[in-house]
């Protein structure tokens, strides 16, 4: 091939290359202009901020009702309500019944008025009656005049320990009333120790001494009281909830010896058939049954005395000690010796050493 052909072909290639370069430059120039124009436009617009919010939870569906338990037996038919009933108590006197309180009436609902139910006033529960005391016979009495007695005390414990002491028995009769005091103590070397103090006060009636209040104080123990409630005809105690019916001639532990003296002064023959006396102690009341052991002679600091010996033997289930009392006819039937033999075997004897008359 000739050189002219190569030169023509190269010239065409250069022109074609120049056109291609020019075309590319034109396209790039246009695209660059478009990009610059778009960038300015975006910066001129205000900046927008986006905040992501949590999606609210979906509400829970309501719980499905639980199925009712199946019953193997059909339900019983529903009973109709009972008709209202009028309750009244039979009156104890012709006085009209008391008016009902507002809260004692119940009326029905809508419609015709339902019958009214009126509850009768409930009576207060009656107190429990005191247990009836066994029948106790009455005795003729002649009350011993006021006096003061000094007694020697001799005690032997169940283990053989021997004690000695003294006691004062004082009673004073007034106009329709009396007061007694009984003190027992023992001697310890150069000291005197009080062991027991009994007091009794009350009225003077046809049946003899009528106690109203007895108090008992033992060494190392609290004082107890026995009440003879004359208006209520009961005997009650501070040391227990027991209650007994009060009968004529009832005594307490302090007044028993003088009540026996009053019975003997009126008629000694009353002692021969035995005596029953209701005695109120510190916690309960018991019927003491005295029987005549016989007539004896005893030695005292007042000399040899002729006495009538009365004894209340032990009674299982009621009292377990033995009480012996010696009455001296020549000394106004006063109790010149008193002896108590306990269930343990301990024996306490009190023998009169001095009598001072203070009343006629």
Span 212-240, mean pLDDT? 96
Band the pLDDT of 87: cuts 50, 70, 90.
very low
Cα radius of gyration rounded to whole Å, the chain: 58
| SS3 of 69-128 | CCCCCCCCCCCCCCCCCCCCCCCCCCCCCCCCCHHHCCCCCCCCCCCCCCCCCCCCCCCC
pLDDT tier for residue 9 given thresholds of 50, 70 and 90:
confident
Residues in the chain, total = 360
The token pair at 32 is 């660059």
Residue 241 main-chain phi, psi, to 5 deg: -95, 10
d(CA 72, CA 250): 73
Asked if 191 and 199 touch (Cβ cutoff 8 Å), the reply is: no
Between 72 and 330, where is the model more confident? 330
Closest to 335 measured CA to CA, from 167, 214, 160, 186: 167
As given in the structure block, the two tokens for residue 205 are: 């009636």
- Mean pLDDT comparison of 8-17, 111-120, 179-188, 313-322, highest-scoring range: 179-188
pLDDT band at residue 169, thresholds of 50, 70 and 90?
very high
Mean pLDDT of all residues in 147-174: 95
pLDDT value for 130: 60
Tokens 């009365």 correspond to what residue? 310
Q: Residue 95, Cα to own-chain centre: how many angstroms?
A: 39
List pLDDT tens digits, range 243-270. 999 999 999 999 999 999 999 999 999 9
Q: What is the pLDDT of residues 292-333, one digit of tens each?
A: 999 999 999 999 999 999 999 998 776 689 999 999 999 999
CB 272, CB 292: distance < 8 Å: yes
- Does residue 126 register a pLDDT over 60? no
Top-level class of domain 147-357: mainly beta
Of all residues in the chain, what percent carry a pLDDT higher than 70?
67
- Pairing type for strands 285-300 and 334-341 reads unpaired
Strand 234-237 relative to strand 243-245, pairing: antiparallel
Q: What was the pLDDT predicted at 24?
A: 72
Task: Give me the residue spans of the domains in the chain.
Answer: 147-357
Spell out the residues 6+ positions from residue 291 whose beta carbon is closer than 8 angstroms to its own.
Answer: 274, 275, 310, 311, 312, 313
């Amino acid at each position: 091939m000739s050189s002219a052909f190569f030169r023509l072909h190269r010239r065409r290639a250069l022109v074609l290359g120049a056109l291609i370069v020019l075309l590319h430059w034109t396209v790039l120039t246009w695209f660059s202009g478009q990009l610059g124009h778009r960038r300015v436009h975006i910066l001129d617009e205000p900046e927008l901020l986006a905040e992501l919010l949590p999606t609210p939870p979906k509400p829970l569906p309501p719980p499905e009702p639980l199925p009712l338990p199946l019953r193997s037996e059909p339900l019983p038919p529903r009973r109709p309500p009972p008709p209202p009933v009028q309750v009244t108590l039979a009156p104890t006197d012709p006085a009209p019944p008391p008016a009902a309180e507002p809260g004692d009436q119940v009326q029905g609902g809508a419609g015709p008025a339902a019958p009214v139910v009126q509850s009768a006033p409930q009576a207060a529960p009656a107190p429990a009656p005191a247990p009836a005391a066994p029948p106790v016979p009455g005795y003729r009495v002649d009350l011993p005049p006021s006096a003061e007695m000094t007694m020697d005390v001799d005690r032997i414990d169940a283990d053989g320990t021997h004690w000695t002491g003294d006691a004062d028995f004082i009673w004073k009769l007034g106009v329709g009333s009396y007061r007694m005091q009984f003190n027992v103590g023992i001697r310890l070397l150069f000291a005197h120790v009080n062991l027991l103090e009994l007091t009794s006060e009350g009225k003077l009636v046809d049946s003899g001494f009528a106690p109203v209040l007895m108090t008992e104080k033992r060494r190392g123990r609290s004082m107890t009281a026995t009440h003879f409630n004359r208006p209520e005809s009961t005997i009650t105690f501070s040391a227990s909830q027991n209650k007994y019916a009060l009968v004529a001639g009832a005594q307490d532990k302090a007044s028993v010896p003088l009540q026996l003296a009053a019975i003997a002064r009126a008629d000694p023959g009353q002692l021969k058939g035995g005596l029953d006396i209701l005695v109120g102690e510190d916690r309960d009341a018991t019927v003491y049954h005295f029987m005549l052991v016989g007539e004896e002679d005893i030695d005292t600091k007042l000399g040899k005395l002729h006495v009538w010996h009365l004894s209340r033997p032990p009674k299982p289930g009621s009292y377990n000690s033995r009480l012996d009392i010696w009455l001296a006819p020549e000394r106004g039937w006063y109790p010149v010796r008193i002896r108590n033999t306990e269930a343990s075997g301990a024996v306490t004897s009190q023998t009169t050493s001095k009598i001072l008359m203070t009343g006629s």
